[in-house]
Structure 1
């Protein structure tokens, strides 16, 4: 079944999908980590590929930026293509000054300034959390590969260029480790559908210390994060 955003046919997409925001990162993963690769999507240049990793079928697809974009792609992957495990692999800006460039975060939960959960008509504030199954597997995979990770809460924000440059400090006071723009919507969609989701992030810049990586490093330099994610197939 094709959609307005994905022209894959039934059976082309694996039950486990890695979801980088950048479609070029999806292309890089497919070309450098997967075998027997088949491209299943190029609509809007949101590249998607399926291949094998250590003999296991796995797919990778870009999601774009922000809750609306990943909300569309993850919903379609779940409901139109039968995906059961959705693993976001992305970059983040650190709020915690102890986090260094290229450090890895496993997001146990996502706070947000987004109104994404309003669609569910809940009588309160929804706490969007990761799948324990994927989170525990990711932590074990990191330990087995001698990769240090930090597990904690993050912030999914609708705003990249904010008017208040200091409001991140309020999130930091509540123990939020870093900011990104997609996880809350992913976790909501997965929870609503009863499937698994996990976000694995690499620190690309620090809001606390003002350090930052280059675009090329963000596209191709996050191999430890990719290694952990691929072990979840």
Structure 2
């Protein structure tokens, strides 16, 4: 269970039960008492009025009402991306538990967030691979580019290919992305090449999401892989 799922569950329990002890919570979630202490502090920092009853446990202040949890679009996108990554896990029980937790979380998404998260889910693919000895490849653009995909925003990038020191300027229409060998690949319509191209996100040196929108090209990720994709590596 993720920390987010555990925090939501603890808050629900506090609403349904008068007093909870740290030991009781630790045993329920199979974590240490120290972890429960940190969870309680997280809830308090989020504004939840938890009352510590000396020698007895935790309770919610009388009259407190739990407001619906609100997720930003980027947070929802992160959960959808995690869903695709978790599906590569070989432990069926873990995948099932994650799916159940995510279903509960999705139930509080605003309708506009729900629609866009479903759109993103169709635009992501994680290819099962076993290159575990590769060094981690770092990038810092995934969340922003996912927003551009779901909102149909043009993106300007400076891009460097593999084994090439020259940067090229591109204006692109981001359509989908997939993960393989510990790196994320963006599929986009490139106005320089006037065709679809694949860009390694870690090789995008600079990017700018533009306010102007492009028309949906109805790009299909599965169909893309049945053809012979040309990657602008």
Which bin holds the TM-score, normalised by the shorter protein?
under 0.3
| Bigger-Rg structure (1/2) | 2
Looking at both structures, which has the greater relative contact order when contacts are Cα pairs under 8 Å and sequence separation is at least 6? 1
Normalised to the residue count of structure 2, the TM-score between the two structures is: 0.24
